[in-house]
Amino acid sequence: MKINLALMFGGKSVEHEISIISALQAAQNLDREKYNVIPIYITKSGEMYCGEHIGDIEAYKDIKGLLAKSYPVTMARHGGRVEILRLEHKLFKNPLVSYVDVAFPIVHGTNVEDGTAAGYLNLLGVPYVGCDILSAAIGMDKYAMKSVFKENGIPVLDCRIYHSDEFDDNSNLVILDIEKNFGYPVIVKPVNLGSSVGISVADSKSKLEDSLSDAFRYSKRVLVERAITNLTEINCSVLGDDRSAEASVCERPVSGDEILSYSDKYLDGSKSSKGMASTKRIIPADISAENTHYIQELAVKAFKTLGCNGVVRIDFMIDNDSNTIYLNEINTIPGSLSFYLWEPKGVPYKELLDRMIALALKRERERDSVTYAFDTNVLSGIHLGGVKGAKGTKA
């Protein structure tokens, strides 16, 4: 019997379009002998849609037309199973679209990848592929992520965090603090975004002010750290769970700028729909065997430290002047699911997806063995008119 798999993508995120590409790319590689795939598109306003054309990448050139041909749905738990239900249906017609055995959220960015999607699916009680709420939330928040990694002996650059109200009240004071702690150049980043959105390098006061203004458009909190001037960026993927994980080959993305930009990642001029798979890169990375091994070890350690699950991509920086390696960030749902880093290790995309789904089902079996509720009814013995509070009366 086939597994009913809800493939979820889109969402209220600046990385909305990249999610569509990543998800529909995965859909083409899912084994249809094993899975009955139900694509669920989440609009930028948070509505979910199903329909005949939702899985067609070409249809997204006209979103309004696509939605007119599709129908809104929701997910609900009923009778011990999770269902996809049609919201607009004719009287006496069964609204059931499909049961869900496992959900596969391929979503990027704030409001989805940050633990929001995982929390929604966890509440429904449906097995889902990828990181759980905590690891996803920490992985999305760059400041929290750095704090956890630093505490666990994983090398990261020192940073400071600034709030939009501080900048609005006295931008000069914020700039003076940055100059005092870091000097120039510095990198300015929104705390909770990916795909290099809102990230820039500032090497002067005027550029720093512009960089901060731009970053605060995307987040109320902005992270600043020193910029490594002689830099090599290296990425490595990890597959597994918190007890057993392995690293992929490493890659060196080729950037046309100081940092790998959104355009470098997704808008290379080829008009392709390959997402991160179309980025210019060198695989395996042209670095020493010693650095490769060290990065792979750090990647696995970081993965296990956050308790990740499925596939992630971890981005590193090498300071070429000192040959020092720093972990830059973790992507808990990487673009294109980093399949291109696993194929050189003999793991084709179809097998990678199978292994991710198997990890999700394994985690659900483990959760089923844990007691989450007591079979008791405290309220049955309480006279509600006299309740003094949830903690009862004092002794």
Same domain (yes/no): 244, 340 = yes
Query: Which residue among 19, 219, 336, 338 is the active-site one?
Result: 336
Q: Specify if 378 maps to a domain.
A: no
Domain membership of residue 119 as a residue range: 3-128
- At 197 the pLDDT is 77
Summarize pLDDT for 346-368 with one digit per residue, the tens.
999 999 999 999 999 999 999 98
Torsion of CA 218, 223, 228, 229, to 10 degrees: 50
Neighbour order of strands in the sheet with 102-105: 96-100, 81-86, 71-78, 48-50, 35-42, 3-10, 102-105
Query: Which residue among 195, 211, 248, 338 is the active-site one?
Result: 195
Does the active-site annotation cover 171? Answer: no
Query: Which residue among 15, 83, 113, 251 is the active-site one?
Result: 15
Last residue of a domain, one of 193, 226, 259: 226
Say which CATH number the domain at 212 has: 3.30.1490.20
Same domain (yes/no): 332, 279 = yes
Same domain (yes/no): 33, 123 = yes
Q: Specify if 379 maps to a domain.
A: no
- At 142 the pLDDT is 96
- At 394 the pLDDT is 56
Summarize pLDDT for 249-290 with one digit per residue, the tens.
999 999 766 555 444 544 444 444 455 565 789 999 999 999
- Return the higher-pLDDT residue of 100 and 382: 100
Same domain (yes/no): 268, 151 = yes
Average pLDDT along the chain? 91
Summarize pLDDT for 201-238 with one digit per residue, the tens.
999 999 999 999 999 999 999 999 999 999 999 999 99
Domain count, the chain: 3
Q: Specify if 17 maps to a domain.
A: yes
- Give percent above pLDDT 90 in the chain: 81
Q: Which residues contact 11 (CB under 8 A, 6 or more apart)?
A: 19, 42, 44, 46, 107, 109, 111, 112, 117
Same domain (yes/no): 239, 255 = yes
Amino acid at 293: H
Does the active-site annotation cover 195? Answer: yes
Say which CATH number the domain at 271 has: 3.30.470.20
Q: Specify if 60 maps to a domain.
A: yes
For residue 374, report the phi and psi dihedrals to the nearest 5 degrees: -95, 140
pTM reported for the whole predicted model: 0.89
- At 272 the pLDDT is 43
Same domain (yes/no): 121, 241 = no
The average pLDDT across 338-348 equals 98
Q: Specify if 389 maps to a domain.
A: no
Same domain (yes/no): 254, 105 = no
Last residue of a domain, one of 174, 205, 226: 226
CA distance 133 to 136: 5
Q: How many helices (H) and strands (E) does the chain have?
A: 11, 16
Summarize pLDDT for 67-117 with one digit per residue, the tens.
999 999 999 999 999 999 999 766 667 899 999 999 999 999 989 999 999
Q: Specify if 79 maps to a domain.
A: yes
Same domain (yes/no): 36, 76 = yes
- At 270 the pLDDT is 40
Summarize pLDDT for 13-51 with one digit per residue, the tens.
989 999 999 999 999 999 999 999 999 999 999 999 999
Same domain (yes/no): 180, 295 = no
331 is in an annotated binding site: yes
- At 390 the pLDDT is 55
Same domain (yes/no): 291, 218 = no
Q: Specify if 311 maps to a domain.
A: yes
Binned at pLDDT 50, 70 and 90, residue 292 comes out as very high
